Every structure is written in structure tokens, then in C-alpha cells.
A and B are shown apart, each in its own frame.
Chain A
Amino acid sequence: MAAVTIPYKLQLRREARSEYVFRFMTMAAALLVLAILAGVLLALLYGGWPALRTFRFGFLTSTIWNPVTDQFGALAPLYGTVITSLLALLLAVPLAFGIAIFLTETCPMWLRSPISTCIELLAAVPSIVFGIWGLFVLAPVLQHTVQPWLIDTLGDAPIIGKLFRGPPYGIGLLTAGFVLAVMVLPFITSVMREVFLSTPSSLKEAAYGLGATQWEVIWDVVLPNARAGVVGGIMLGLGRALGETMAVTFVVGNAHRISGSLLAPGTTISASIANEFTEAVGKLYTSSLIALGLLLFLLTFIIIASARLLLLRLEARGAHV
């Protein structure tokens, strides 16, 4: 008997040890992410410190970006980043909502899978391709049709008129918003589709059984059930829009200026870094570009954190209803 029990115990011990190693390795993998994140933050802080120390709060409030005199302020790229991303969401969210509703509720079965595959393929297109498309295809179309029309019809309107003035260059904040909208569309759509699909069919059937119309089912049953997921999807899209670099660099116009008009050229944080980092000479210049990176990091962090908070509150409220 003894001859049998010893190998058995050995095997047990061996298994326990491999369990331990396995657990340790998975934990190490997770901790590595935290370490990388902290490392990135520290590296950005360290690199951006000379600029932050020199300009202090002026770095956030100044629109001057002058490599000749070594004066740097981040307001123009910050403004451009936020405006282009919001524009993208404004255009993409209603569209994504429509697509998701169509795919989950009203689309004939045979058409569902081809359409969703196409939308997912859109997400697989490299951003540089969107940039080239934006510059060579979209920009001329906007320049010759959409922008003159906007200037003629909305340019003289009170309040919002200011947003649509100036010469139609073809590229600028609006064009960047359009390109970003196409780029974030697949992300928002697929998240929305998933959460709409997760609505329990018993709930929907019950609503139909009570005589609800399709619209009523969507608005009163599917949507409240999917609220948290929809917000999550939008935030995912926003996160992607904020950091997008190459496509935006091609079409945003790359001007460190804030002009009221959406048709005017502007710049974003990531576009500025991509444009200028390679040829930036001088400590303060490179440091200012790294400080821009830090700002983008913090901006994205704040947005994702507030999205999480919003989701938590929505879920808490959902539980009480």
C-alpha cells in the first residue's frame, strides 16, 4: 500500500505547487498592467515637468504655440480634441442607435449577419486608410458641396451661425468630426447591438402581448433595459475618438488656433504630437509635447472614470425600479 500512497501524495503536492505557480503567474500578468500604467504616467510627468514648471497654469489657458520663442500653451489642441470628439459622437450615436435597433428588432433574419459583418469590418480598417480617404475623397466633396451649403444656409443664422462661417477649405474641425464619426461608428454599434440583444425575450413578448407597438417595445422595454450598456458603448467610442491620431492629422488642418467656426482648421492633442515630435529641437519644446500627452492621458482617464461612475449610478437606480 505504501508504495501506492507515496506517489499519490507526491502528485498531490505537485498539483498544489503548479496551482500556486499558475495563480502567481495570472496575478503577475494583472499587476504588470498596473505597473505599465503607472510607468507611463510617471514617464509623462517626468518628461512634461519642465514645461509644466515653466508655464504652470498658463499651459492650460494659453493658445500660443510658438516654437520660435519657446512659448507653449495647450488650449487650442485641447479645444480641438474635445470639439472633434463631440462632433463625432453627435453624428455617430444616432446612426449607431438606428443601426442597432434595425439589426436587433426589424431586420429580416437573412440580412442581419451580412450587415453586422460589414460594420465589424469597418472597425478593422486601419486609421491611416481613413486618413487618406478623408483627405482625398471626403474633403473635396465637403469642400464643393456640404460646406458651401452650410455657409449659405446656416452661416447667417443667429447664435449657431458663427459655427459655419469662413471659406470652405475642405479640411478642418468638421471634416475631422466626420471621419471620426465613421471610425467610432462600428464600436458604438456593436456594443449597442449586444445590449439590445440581451433584453430578455419574455419581457418583449409580454409587452407585445399587452398590445404594445414595435416603437413602444423598443422605447419602453428594450432601451431602459440597455441603458447602462448604451452609455458604455458611447464612452468606448468617445475614448477612441479622443486618442485617434493619424486620420485626424490628415484632415484637421493642423493650426494652433481657436476660431469659432467648425469649418476652420484646428488641431488636436494627438495630431500636434504626431506632427511635431520628430523635428522638435530644444528641451522646452519636446517637454511641452510630452505634457500634451499627459493632458490627453488625464482627459481620457477622467472621461472613462466618469463613465464608470455614471454606469454604477444607473445600475443602482435600475436595481431599485
Chain B
Amino acid sequence: MHRFFKFAGAVGFLGMLGGLAAAAIADDISGAGATFPYPVYAKWAEAYKQQTGIGLNYQSIGSGGGIKQIEASTVTFGASDKPLEPADLKQNGLVQWPQIIGGVVPVVNIPGIKPGELVLDGATLASIYLGDISRWNDPAIKKLNPTLSLPKLDIAPIYRSDGSGTNFLFTNYLSQVSPAFLKTIGANTSVQWPVGIGAKGNEGVANQTTQTNGAIGYVEYAYVKQTNMTYTRLVNRDGKLVVPEAKAFQAAAANADWARAEGYYLILTNQSGAASWPITGASFILVHADSKDANTAAALKFFDWAYKSGQSLAESLDYVPLPAGVVKLVEQTWQESLKVNGKPIWPAK
């Protein structure tokens, strides 16, 4: 019988260990959601922990998962690349705000074409992904690039096969500039593409594009920057040519009318402004308006720190910080609409 007691003792001990581990995690801020901002959130968390001793446990399980987890209140905050509509926010008692900006950049693999040489506009990009333009020497592309010699080469469109914020921004932009795209494909984190092949993740799209002659793909800006891919320039809403760089994304964010967007429901694609990159997007944070989670105040302190002291870290990873004017608006929203157990929590004590 004493063997049984030994066994029971071991089980009890393991249980205690589990309890200790749970207690240790409870002090950390917990969040879950979008994969796109994960590198910068992780870097912020590391630096913040060094400065304050408060840890942040962020699980990059995808925007859909992040929304589900915050609705179920299993995390302090959720993160999504696609903003929730004001009605959805109200229904679930959630508040959202933009935290970081990124952009999507088309990349190509055409013999003889160097980074930044090729020019495309939204309508042409949409026609390529609809399969209406199938050769690189198509008159529509030639018209945008009168000085380039484009080969008679089939276009191989590459798309992101995994559901992602990148897909959402790209299809949202194409749906805005092309009625045909809106009608046959539409905008979502994953859509039914009529042509092309799907590759998994940024690295999959990048790899497939570099391997396939005549390929076109789209990846996150940070990825283009770090791998020196052959990016294209785009014609934006104002008809100006723009190069994908940090200030072009920031221009799009600054030109957007955040103050009048209810629940920050604003998608930064196809913004006006001479310098705006047309496929720009923000990644959002979601919390309960009246939270039962005492950690919410700690989470706000973290996000405030990230806005103010995390900028250079974000830039080092090729993310784009939010313009100061928008940060001010967001913190005003915190003050007005965020509570824990009925008590306001911002400004933090």
C-alpha cells in the first residue's frame, strides 16, 4: 500500500508545481492574436521586462484566435490585423485601437528588372490577380513602364495561402480600386483566387517568387527590406508614384481621419495624400471596455510605453510607429471608455 501513497504524493507534488507555475504566469500581462505584429510585440515585451520587471506573454495564434480569446476573457488583450466593426465591438463590450503600422509590398521576378524599376497601379495589379492580364508585355503594364523592356513571359501570380492580415490588406486594397475584383473575389483574410499558386507565410511567398520566372507576389514591408527582394513602385490614389519606405506608410496613417472613425474602424489602404503608400495597414489591440481583469491597467501602461519608448525598437524591425497625433487620440479613448470593475484606469497611477 505504501507504494500507492508514494504515487499519490508524487501526483500531489506535481499538482503543487502546476499551481506555482500558474501563480507565476498570473503576474504577467497576457495577450493573444495577430501574427504580423508578433516580432515587435515580443521585442517590446523583452525590453519592458528588463526595465520594469513586468512580463508580457503574447501568443501569436492569429487574429481570429485573438478575437475569440478576448471574447472569452481568457487573455487580458487580443490583437487583430483586421479591425472589428463598431457593431461587433459594442455587442461584445470591446474597445479597440491601432498599435503599430505595417504595409504590404508587391514583389516580382522578371529577368532584367531591378528593385524599384517596375511601376504598377491598383487596377493593373487587380487584373493580374484576376487572370485578365497574363503576360508581362501586356499593353496595360507597358503603358505604366514606357522605358522598360518587358519580356513576353507568362505571369505567375503567387498568393499567401494561410489566412493572414497581409491577405486582408492586399484584397481590401484591390477591392477598392477594381470593381471587378470586389465582385469576383472580395476582401478577407483568405479568399478564393481564380489563378496562381498559394505559398505559406511571407517566407513561402518570397521563396516561390524568387524561384519562379515571371512571378509576382506580395509580402510584408519588413520582409522586403530584410531580404532585398525586387519590389515594385505603386501609383497611389492621388496619382503619384511612391516607393515602399517607412515615411510612405506613416504618410498614409497620418492622412487618415482617425478622429471621425468610430471605434478606430479604419483601414489604411488607398488613403489620399501625395506620399501615401496605398497598401498600408494598422494592427489593432482589443480589450474589454469594463474588464474583470486587473491586469488591464498594467497592459495599458505597457502599450503607452510602447508608443513612447518603443519607437526605435519598432523601426529597427522595420515596423512603422503610429503618428503622435493618433497616439494622443488613443490615450484619450482609454481615459473615456476603459474601466476595470467599473472604475476608470487611465491615466495610470
- Are the C-beta atoms of A171 and B200 separated by less than 8 Å? no
Please name the residue on chain A nearest to B34 by beta carbon.
A279
- Are the C-beta atoms of B197 and A135 separated by less than 8 Å? no
- Which residues from B are CB-within-8-Å of A167? 154, 156
With A66-B192, A275-B161, A279-B163: A170-B211 Cβ-Cβ less than 8 Å:
yes
With A171-B208, A265-B198, A278-B35: A66-B64 Cβ-Cβ less than 8 Å:
no
- Which residues from B are CB-within-8-Å of A277? 62, 64, 163
B207 CB-CB contact with A under 8 Å: yes
- Which residues from A are CB-within-8-Å of B187? 68
- Are the C-beta atoms of A281 and B82 separated by less than 8 Å? yes
- Are the C-beta atoms of A68 and B191 separated by less than 8 Å? yes
- Are the C-beta atoms of B192 and A254 separated by less than 8 Å? no
On A, residues with C-beta under 8 Å from B are: 64-69, 135-136, 139-140, 143, 167, 169-172, 249-250, 253-256, 265, 267, 274-281, 286
- Are the C-beta atoms of B197 and A171 separated by less than 8 Å? yes
Kindly list the 5 A-B residue pairs having the minimum CB-CB distance in the complex, ordered from nearest: A278-B62, A279-B163, A254-B198, A254-B161, A68-B186
Question: Closest Cβ of chain A: how far from B207's Cβ, in Å?
Answer: 6
B204-220 interface bits toward A, Cβ cutoff 8 Å, 1 = contact, 0 = none: 10011001100000000
Main secondary structure of the interface of B (DSSP, over half): loop
- Which residues from B are CB-within-8-Å of A136? 207
- Are the C-beta atoms of A139 and B163 separated by less than 8 Å? no
- Are the C-beta atoms of B204 and A67 separated by less than 8 Å? no
**Apart from A170-B208, A255-B196, A276-B163: 18 A-B pairs, beta carbons within 8 A:** A66-B192, A68-B191, A167-B154, A167-B156, A169-B208, A255-B198, A256-B192, A265-B198, A267-B161, A274-B162, A275-B161, A275-B162, A275-B200, A277-B62, A277-B64, A277-B163, A278-B65, A286-B64
- Are the C-beta atoms of B211 and A281 separated by less than 8 Å? no
With A135-B204, A280-B64: A67-B212 Cβ-Cβ less than 8 Å:
no
B161-195 interface bits toward A, Cβ cutoff 8 Å, 1 = contact, 0 = none: 11111000000000000000000011111111100
Query: How far, in whole Å, are A167 and B153 apart by their CA atoms in the complex?
Result: 11
Please name the residue on chain A nearest to B182 by beta carbon.
A68
Question: Closest Cβ of chain B: how far from A132's Cβ, in Å?
Answer: 10
With A66-B192, A279-B62: A250-B200 Cβ-Cβ less than 8 Å:
yes
Contact pick for A281, options B64, B162, B185, B199, CB 8 Å: B64
- Which residues from A are CB-within-8-Å of B82? 281
- Which residues from B are CB-within-8-Å of A265? 196-198
- Which residues from B are CB-within-8-Å of A250? 200, 204
B63 CB-CB contact with A under 8 Å: yes
Number of interface residues of B (CB under 8 A): 34
With A135-B207, A170-B212, A250-B204: A279-B164 Cβ-Cβ less than 8 Å:
yes
Query: How far, in whole Å, are A256 and B61 apart by their CA atoms in the complex?
Result: 23
- Are the C-beta atoms of A253 and B200 separated by less than 8 Å? no
- Which residues from A are CB-within-8-Å of B330? none
- Are the C-beta atoms of A68 and B185 separated by less than 8 Å? yes
A-B contact pairs, 6 of them (CB 8 A): A171-B197, A171-B208, A255-B193, A279-B162, A280-B64, A280-B163
Query: How far, in whole Å, are A281 and B70 apart by their CA atoms in the complex?
Result: 14
- Which residues from B are CB-within-8-Å of A143? 211-212
Query: How far, in whole Å, are A169 and B192 apart by their CA atoms in the complex?
Result: 19
- Which residues from A are CB-within-8-Å of B163? 67, 275-280
With A253-B197, A254-B199: A276-B212 Cβ-Cβ less than 8 Å:
no
B300 CB-CB contact with A under 8 Å: no
- Which residues from B are CB-within-8-Å of A286? 64
Query: How far, in whole Å, are A254 and B165 apart by their CA atoms in the complex?
Result: 17
Query: How far, in whole Å, are A68 and B175 apart by their CA atoms in the complex?
Result: 12
Query: How far, in whole Å, are A171 and B211 apart by their CA atoms in the complex?
Result: 10
B345 CB-CB contact with A under 8 Å: no
- Are the C-beta atoms of A169 and B156 separated by less than 8 Å? yes
Query: How far, in whole Å, are A256 and B63 apart by their CA atoms in the complex?
Result: 22
Query: How far, in whole Å, are A276 and B162 apart by their CA atoms in the complex?
Result: 5
Query: How far, in whole Å, are A171 and B156 apart by their CA atoms in the complex?
Result: 12
Query: How far, in whole Å, are A256 and B194 apart by their CA atoms in the complex?
Result: 9
- Are the C-beta atoms of B198 and A253 separated by less than 8 Å? yes
With A172-B197, A255-B197, A279-B162: A66-B191 Cβ-Cβ less than 8 Å:
yes
Query: How far, in whole Å, are A94 and B185 apart by their CA atoms in the complex?
Result: 43
